[in-house]
């Protein structure tokens, strides 16, 4: 099992796949043991229930769902934030990984 598990949520789970790849590369470069994956908003509930998630990041396109997810995560102690729009647009895996790790601290 990975030391840190980071779940990204977007509309269809597709647009964040490149970002996941870049985050995984940044994690590997730091010799970190992470599991980083992306799911659609519709699949998020199942993953919240089935996986040991350390942090959840929302893609900018689903930022409007933050309130809904805050309620779902309230009793689970899982931090939640929205991925910085510039980092998302540039697919800056290093910065998004840093954002996730800051939330876990």
SS (H, E, C) 61-75: HHHHHHHHHHHHHCC
Q: What pLDDT does 6 receive?
A: 98
Residue spans of the chain under pLDDT 50: none
Q: What digits encode the pLDDT tens for the residues 61-91?
A: 999 999 999 999 999 999 999 999 999 999 9
Q: What pLDDT does 86 receive?
A: 97
- Token pair for residue 54? 């350390």
Please tell me the class of the 4-104 domain: alpha beta
Catalytic residue among 6, 7, 10, 20: 10
Taking the complete model, does pTM exceed 0.75, yes or no? yes
Distances from the Cα of 21 to the Cα of 42, 50, 67, 71, 90, angstroms: 21, 22, 27, 29, 13
Strands 55-58 and 34-40, how do they pair? unpaired
Q: Is 28 an annotated catalytic residue?
A: no
Nearest to 30 by CA among 1, 3, 58: 3
């Amino acid at each position: 099992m990975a030391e840190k598990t980071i779940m990204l949520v977007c509309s269809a789970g597709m647009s964040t796949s490149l970002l996941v790849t870049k985050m995984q590369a940044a994690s590997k470069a730091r010799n970190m043991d992470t599991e980083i994956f992306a799911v659609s908003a519709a699949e998020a509930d199942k993953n919240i229930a089935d996986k040991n998630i350390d942090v959840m990041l929302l893609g900018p396109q689903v930022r409007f769902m933050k309130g809904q997810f805050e309620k779902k995560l309230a009793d689970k102690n899982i931090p939640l934030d929205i991925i910085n729009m510039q980092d998302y647009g540039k697919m800056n895996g290093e910065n998004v990984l840093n954002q996730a790790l800051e939330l876990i601290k």
